[in-house]
Amino acid sequence: MTMKQQQVVVCAVLVLLAMAGVASAASCNVGQLTPCASALATGATPSASCCSSLKAQQGCFCTYAKNPTYARYINSPNAKKVVASCGLTVPRC
């Protein structure tokens, strides 16, 4: 492989990595936490569907916690209980 071909490959990999980061940020959708609504409101044991949704959205917790619309729900004692019940940890944001 020539030096120019190597540079093209490196550039392509960097573009793909950058696109993956954008896709990851775009995948944060608080609506996907709907299965957790009752558990978050009451502190009840979360359903398997809720835990699955939380695991899928785990990388978004800090984004939600910093959003004034969602912060009071995400930072609530019930939310921490639900997250722990699903075997996840609450990140430090």
Residue 14 domain flag: yes
pLDDT single digits (tens) 44-90: 999 999 999 999 999 999 999 999 998 988 889 999 999 999 999 88
The CA distance from 42 to 62, in Å, is 22
pLDDT, tens only, 19-28? 333 334 458 9
- pLDDT of 15 > 60? The answer is no
Mean pLDDT of 10-34: 53
57 found inside a domain: yes
**Could you tell me if residue 93 is inside a domain?**
no
User: Domain range for residue 79?
Assistant: 3-85
Q: Is residue 55 part of a domain?
A: yes
**Tokens 């639900």 -> residue:** 82
Indicate the angle between helix axes 48-57 and 77-85, nearest 10 degrees: 100
pLDDT band at residue 91 under the 50/70/90 scheme:
confident
Read off the tokens for 32.
């996907």
Q: How many structural domains comprise the chain?
A: 1
Q: What is the CATH number of the domain that holds 62?
A: 1.10.110.10
Asked if residue 81 is part of any domain, the answer here is yes
